Structure 1
């Protein structure tokens, strides 16, 4: 006699709890998107790359990203990293409105964009004029291990000595963009090789 009532009440409770979990407590994935524009420069002293990091939290619970960095492989096959330095309001050389990198939250079911500037003083040997695959890595939540967030194909081969903001699509470039980048980077790579040969005790 009471079975239908108990069953209906139980189903209602299950539905209520499940709905609450789905809307408020469901964990999700962090989805990162490819780079369509970027900025930066390269010389014998430093390599700087600035990109918009676009991330979508598919779940209901907020997720916290504590650190970011880019990792790549240089021409000799060694690994190099660019650490996140500052957040900016937009892509560009200016530092107005910039802030030191700090942990940030991505609320549930939301998309945010962070303009992040990465840099290294240990300039890697690149192939002048060529694009490069850089792996965006991060420390997420309370984890102590760096995790791979997204592999990015960035046309770093067009970077020159002054800060350049450019589309990552070669179809938008001027005819001289690639040639200027290749010429500049050939000179930079040549100087870097000479310095490393001298440091290694090889005068040749």
Structure 2
């Protein structure tokens, strides 16, 4: 690389002697290498989770996700806040906010959740963590289908919310919405028994909100209930 840089500098400044050209190129290379190794600002990367924990009521939605955050640059990145949004759903669906950082994915009485707190991801390193998101009366009442979910982040060196990851949440795998437990986020083929169980549980949640629904919505849900009685496929 240095010979190429020296030739370029020599062509641009023919009056500079050869030794001076080499010295200038060496200085440029040293400064650039130092910046790349120690001072380059990178960005965060994340990947779709393979599993999640969920519980959904008509008055509350809670999701627990295992996440991996990777800093591609040399400088540390401070994460100030996280949240989940549903970009393809109605605007009435509120974001699910970062409520705690539990110690394990499977919810249980031994949980020792920590309140949200900013943290740093060191340069060129990855950080694995569990984040629990929640929203009261969020309007998110899952149907047995895939949802487009966006993980948004606020970082110390930028202003506002920024999209970190867009992934598919496979809500069809939530076969017992009233029980806070772990589900796979893989596109699994559920058995007929599991599909019927998921249908019944989700329709029960819909019935709980029936009093708040418009007449047209009530009619649509009655139709769903009729299909559930015959064992519809998800």
Which category of TM-score, normalised to the shorter sequence, fits these structures?
0.7 to 0.9
CA–CA distance in 1 between the matches of 2:209 and 2:87? 16
Structure-2 residue corresponding to 1:188: 205
Q: Where do 4+ consecutive residues of structure 1 move more than 3 Å?
A: 73-79, 172-179, 195-198
CA–CA distance in 2 between the matches of 1:23 and 1:102? 28
Structure-2 residue corresponding to 1:99: 114
Residues 121-171 of structure 1 deviation map (CA, whole Å, 9 limit, x = unaligned) = 114253521221111111112434111111121122433101120211142
Unaligned runs of 5+ in 2: 1-14, 216-234
Residues 50-107 of structure 1 deviation map (CA, whole Å, 9 limit, x = unaligned) = 1112221111111111111111168666332110111123211136342111111111
Structure-1 residue corresponding to 2:132: 117
CA–CA distance in 2 between the matches of 1:141 and 1:125? 30
Residues 162-189 of structure 1 deviation map (CA, whole Å, 9 limit, x = unaligned) = 1120211142756544432332121112
CA–CA distance in 2 between the matches of 1:185 and 1:73? 22
Q: Higher helix proportion, which one?
A: 2
Bigger radius of gyration among the two = 2
CA–CA distance in 2 between the matches of 1:177 and 1:112? 35
Unaligned runs of 5+ in 1: 199-204
CA–CA distance in 2 between the matches of 1:122 and 1:138? 22
TM-score normalised per structure 1: 0.85
User: Residues 74 and 124 of structure 1 are in contact (CA less than 8 Å); yes or no, is this contact kept in structure 2?
Assistant: no
Residues 54-69 of structure 1 aligned to structure 2 (within 5 Å) = 54-69=68-83
CA–CA distance in 1 between the matches of 2:127 and 2:117? 15
Cα RMSD (Å): 2.5
Structure-1 residue corresponding to 2:33: 19
- What number of residue pairs does the alignment pair up? 197
Helix, strand or coil at the partner of 2:164: strand
Q: Higher strand proportion, which one?
A: 1
Structure-1 residue corresponding to 2:180: 163
Q: Which moved more, 1:49-58 or 1:2-11?
A: 2-11
User: Residues 93 and 138 of structure 2 are in contact (CA less than 8 Å); yes or no, is this contact kept in structure 1?
Assistant: no
CA–CA distance in 2 between the matches of 1:32 and 1:82? 18
Helix, strand or coil at the partner of 1:100: coil
TM-score normalised per structure 2: 0.75
Structure-2 residue corresponding to 1:129: 144
CA change 1:2–1:149 in 2 (3 A) is closer
